[in-house]
Amino acid sequence: MEYNSNRENLIIPEYGRNVQKMIAYAKELESREMRQAVIEKIIDMMQMMHPQSRSIEDYRERLWKHVFRIADYDLDVDYPYGDPPTEDEKRKKPDQVPYPVMEARYRHYGHNVQVLIKKAREMEEGPKREGFVSTIGSYMKLAYRTWNKEHYVSDEVIKGDLESLSGGELSMSENESIENLTNNNTQGGSHHHSNNNNNNRRRATGKRGSSNNSRQRGGGRGSYRRKR
Residues 19/69, Cβ–Cβ less than 8 Å: no
Rounded to the nearest 10 degrees, how much is the dihedral formed by the CA atoms of 185, 186, 188, 190? 160
Beta-carbon count within 10 A of 166 CB: 19
Q: Is the distance from CB of 111 to CB of 102 less than 8 angstroms?
A: yes
* Residue-wise pLDDT tens digits, 71-107: 999 999 999 999 999 988 766 655 554 555 556 677 7
pLDDT at 191: 44
Cα of 156 vs its chain's centroid, Å: 32
> How many residues in total does the chain contain?
228
pLDDT digits (tens, 9 = 90+) for 19-78: 999 999 999 999 999 999 999 999 998 888 877 777 777 889 999 999 999 999 999 999
Give residues with Cβ within 8 angstroms of 68, minimum separation 6: 75, 79, 84, 85, 89
Give the angle subtended at the CA of 212 by the CAs of 211 and 218, to the nearest 5°: 90
Q: Are 43 and 53 in contact (CB under 8 A)?
A: no
CA 47 to chain CA centroid, Å, is 19
Q: Which residues contact 94 (CB under 8 A, 6 or more apart)?
A: none
pTM across the whole model: 0.41
| Mean pLDDT, rounded, for 115-120 | 88
**Geometric angle at alpha carbon 153, from 147 and 157, rounded to 5°:** 110
Note whether 79 and 64 are within 8 A (CB): yes
If you average pLDDT over each of 16-20, 177-181, 196-200, which comes out highest? 16-20
